[in-house]
Amino acid sequence: MREFTCVFDLRFRELNLIKAPLSLLELLGERFRYLIDILPDLFTSPSSLLFILDGLDEFKFPLDWNGSGKNIDVDSKVLVSELMVALIQGSLLPEASVILTTRPSTEAPKRFFQRCCVVLGFEEDQVKEYTSKFYKNSDVAGKVYDYILNNDSLFVLSFIPLYCYIICTAMAEFFSETQDAGDSKSLELNPPKTVSEVYFCYLFTAVKHHALRGSTKRSTPRSEVLSLAKQQLTNLGKLAYENLLQKKIMFDREDLKNYGVIPADVQSTFLCHILQPLKEETVEMFSFFHLTVQEHLAALYCVINLFSQEDIIQALDFWCFGIHPPSCTATPLQNTGLNMDELESLQMFTRFFMGMLRGRLAGQLDGLVLSSMEQGDGIPTRLGLWFQNQFRGRKLKNQTALNLLHCLMEFHMKETTSIAAPEIKKLNLFKMKLSVVDCAAIHYVLQFSTHKLQELNLGYSNIGNNGLNRLGPILHRCESLYLRYNCLGRQAAVLESAILKSNECQIKNLFMCGNNLGSEGVVQLWNALESNTTVEELYLDITGITETGTENIVNCLSKNTSLKSLTIVGNDIGEEGKRRLRELEQRRPGLRIISNFVDDLGLLHAYLDWIDEIQADTDQMDSVKNVNALQSVLKGLQVAGEHMDKGENAAKARELQTKIVELLNSSTALIGER
């Protein structure tokens, strides 16, 4: 980025500390004191400035993205939230460049940016490389990698670099080169399988080797280790939890003192691995080294301070849906304030809570808790009924539904999930960016339900071939399966073909539009459909099918008895491909083939609705997939236009063509401005 004279790196967690109005000039002057004398000169050439705004999900102040924006300049004193909105919208320093980072779960104002990137993390070979570099001993590295590889939950977690680091740190206890063969149970813990277990093992390692340095041996029982660190963990957990509810993630010395966390201990014990000071020129602040560590310690605190089934149910109602506990004596549920808008920020915390609750029921927290949980034997069943009621009685937002699936996976108890899973008749996660870990959670829960799933909608979810692979074992039970625009390729078509050939396949409606299946992939689908007896509607719009992709279509589909409708518009199948479709129509008079946009009024209306949706949500135009899809539709309409007659279909086709041209032109103009 040599075109930039200066880069300003601003972190939202630090901006949380600013309460009084200030100008951009004052903000940068305080943050970058060595630039204070030349800032006015830098602002004379704003196109050479780059602002990196890091961690939008950690910002505690409300942001109004729909307002017109104040007319402010670099000297205008406003609230820091208004300053950030003006900078991001471009009403302040419109010629400057801005990079914004955030967790995927946070709604970022994508319409103000010309590019949106999702950081996908490691590839499989990079996980192996990272593991080999983490351990000095290659044999240990090999054992750890094999364990990760053979554990589905850990394997999908390891693609996230931070989790990979924490997994490797936690595994050192189990695969250390100094560990004797007979010492493999020194922790009295099974090797971790879920996110919560991984974090707990990581925390245990920090306690044992840093907080209690010299006080324990490798053979010291886990309960004794935790007992020695109980007060420190309780104080730190309370600090983490009560401030998490307030979205507070930075603390001064007074905050630490109020919770019994002594700054000297922070720097001399294991806490330096958990908390680290941010050395600013004006104020000394402390923060957990990563938000997930604060969330995990907060969950641990709640698990050891909730004692009954009723406490747990009230806590979940509160954290997941903002329902305040009517009357509760449990410390974590007293004097709590929570804004409904902040519920999403507690989702990772609730998953950790469920994982740690399982740990407590299994006795893994002995030493931190003095007694067994009240009515502990009935908790899995009670929780199963609670989750069942959420899926049955609530119209869940897609983000909330996904979080409940993750909570069930973290709890990882068959008894609980078997009660809840059959209640899931439909699962709509449309337009949610799903990671492989998310797909693992969906698979984990749905595998405990044997009934047919009426609908699984994963359209625009970016799951890719790896995500689809993870879902493979449960896809045959989906009556309507929406996989539109999911970055799927030939491998996905091969997987889907195997599912369609299965005797257990229950798929009736399959939506594969907007994926790059290509001719090789679609040939596999035709072969599978030759013997399939369930699929009635198949949508393959804009899937990269060429003439060679139709070579076996007549032979295969003429033998199929169930398919009633095939949509194949937006593909360049050539004249020979069109001839083959005409032949297929003659052989299968009951099969309706839509190969031209003008052929079907319903299809035209559907695409017009899609255009209206994109116009209403301009964020969608930042997707290369959408731009390419629009261009493909436009090309198909232009080809069809040569043979269009008058009538309602032709009129709608021309309307669609005009709207797409306008949308593409306006999108180009918007990007050019920014």
Question: For the chain, which residues make up each domain, given as ranges?
Answer: 6-112, 187-372, 373-594, 602-670
**What pLDDT is attached to residue 1?**
73
Q: Where are the alpha helices (DSSP H) in 502-600?
A: 518-529, 553-557, 574-587
Length of the chain: 674
pLDDT, tens digit (0-9, with 9 covering 90-100), for 576-619: 999 999 999 999 999 999 988 887 888 888 888 888 877 776 55
**Are 155 and 122 contacting, i.e. CB atoms less than 8 angstroms apart?**
no
Give ∠ CA 652-657-662 in degrees, rounded to 5. Answer: 125
Q: Write out residues in the chain with pLDDT < 70, as ranges.
A: 68-70, 105, 176-190, 210-219, 263-283, 335-341, 371-377, 617-626, 640-646, 667-674
Dihedral over Cα of 220, 226, 230, 232: its sign: positive
Hey, is 224 helix, strand or coil?
A: helix
The DSSP letter of residue 599 is G
Report the distance separating Cα 621 and Cα 663, nearest Å: 9
**What pLDDT is attached to residue 142?**
92
pLDDT, tens digit (0-9, with 9 covering 90-100), for 158-183: 888 888 998 998 888 788 655 444 44
**What pLDDT is attached to residue 632?**
78
**What pLDDT is attached to residue 238?**
94
Report the distance separating Cα 291 and Cα 55, nearest Å: 10
Angle in degrees, 0-180, between the axes of helices 24-31 and 80-89, rounded to the nearest 10? 100
CATH code for residues 373-594: 3.80.10.10
**What pLDDT is attached to residue 272?**
43
- Tokens, residue 418: 């078997």
Q: Specify the residue for token string 């050939």.
A: 501
**What pLDDT is attached to residue 190?**
67
- Tokens, residue 277: 């000071």
Residue 402's region, left for phi above 0, alpha for psi from -120 to 50, else beta, is alpha
Hey, is 565 helix, strand or coil?
A: strand
Report the distance separating Cα 305 and Cα 299, nearest Å: 10
